[in-house]
Chains A and B, each alone.
Chain A
Amino acid sequence: DAGVTQSPTHLIKTRGQQVTLRCSPKSGHDTVSWYQQALGQGPQFIFQYYEEEERQRGNFPDRFSGHQFPNYSSELNVNALLLGDSALYLCASSLDPSGNTIYFGEGSWLTVV
């Protein structure tokens, strides 16, 4: 049973560019959340998607957007990249929005230069 899978694992972008990160939830899960983890910090909640809609959003600017597809997979898009966007981006999935057990993927390391 595959867990949460994310791609790519590492990428380097230039300031001002746009990036798309991808996530496939654990089998049977229909809810996906995204987190940003800066170096030395705990993960910070970006937003959650369920039934292809954004259900809850953390304190992140509109440059951060997402999408959920009918097969429950999800994308995180970040526009106009800043140096401060360099971080580990984590995807998490659960059975439903209030699901008690939330599983994380290994993350995508984004470096903005």
Chain B
Amino acid sequence: DAKTTQPPSMDCAEGRAANLPCNHSTISGNEYVYWYRQIHSQGPQYIIHGLKNNETNEMASLIITEDRKSSTLILPHATLRDTAVYYCIVRSGGSNYKLTFGKGTLLTVNP
């Protein structure tokens, strides 16, 4: 699986958009970008995933650059409950099923 690089921490004001970057310069053509978040002492929560195109769901938007070497997770209107560790994961298709977690980004949403 390709490695990902994320900033260790970020701050965001409540009500503003939170933009979390992720670099995955060694990503292969069949590898997906996944985002999970983990609120303290809880299990990871699935947010979104994508292959090439930008994706949006009720939680967030995922913007993947054209060369697929980086992506950004956007929380459009951050709330205090969005404070969590956010993990960007690159997962291959085929028979490699596991998710390989790094250290993630601790997003703190401030009032």
Question: Which residues of A line the B interface, CB within 8 A?
Answer: 4, 31, 33, 35, 41-45, 48, 55-56, 58, 88, 90, 92, 97-98, 100-107
CB under 8 Å from chain A, chain B span 67-111: 87, 93-104
The answer on a CB contact under 8 Å between A90 and B97 is no
Stretch with Cβ within 8 A of A (4 or more), from B9-17, B18-26, B38-46, B58-66: B38-46
CA distance A48 to B91 in the complex (A): 15
A90 touches B44 (CB 8 A): yes
How many Å lie between the Cα of A92 and that of B91 in the bound state?
A: 15
B residues contacting the other copy or chain, number (CB 8 A): 22
Given contacts A42-B87, A42-B104, A100-B49, contact A33 B97 (CB under 8 A): yes
Residue of B nearest to A50 (CB): B97
Question: Looking at the complex, which one of B42, B98, B102 makes contact with A45 (CB distance below 8 Å)?
Answer: B98
List chain A residues, Cβ under 8 A from B97: 31, 33, 48, 55-56, 97-98
Given contacts A42-B87, A42-B103, A100-B32, contact A56 B95 (CB under 8 A): yes
In the complex the two chains form, what is the Cα distance from A92 to B100 in whole Å? 13
Instruction: State the main secondary structure of chain B at its contact with A.
Output: loop
B99 touches A90 (CB 8 A): no
12 A-B residue pairs with Cβ-Cβ distance under 8 Å, sorted by A, are A31-B97, A33-B97, A35-B99, A42-B87, A42-B103, A45-B100, A56-B96, A56-B97, A98-B94, A101-B49, A103-B46, A107-B43
B residues lining the A interface (CB < 8 Å): 32, 36, 41-46, 49, 87, 93-104
Contacts of A105 in B (CB 8 A): 43
B43 & A104 in contact (Cβ 8 Å cutoff): yes
Complex Cα–Cα for A102 and B99 (A): 9
User: Of all chain A residues, which has the CB nearest B85?
Assistant: A42
Q: What residues of B have a CB within 8 angstroms of the CB of A42 in the complex? A: 87, 101-104
> When the two chains form their complex, are residues B101 and A44 in contact, meaning their CB atoms are under 8 A apart?
yes
Chain B, Cβ-Cβ closest to A56 = B97
Within 8 Å by CB of A43, from B32, B44, B94, B95, lies B44
Q: Are A43 and B42 in contact (CB under 8 A)?
A: no
Contacts of A98 in B (CB 8 A): 93-95, 97
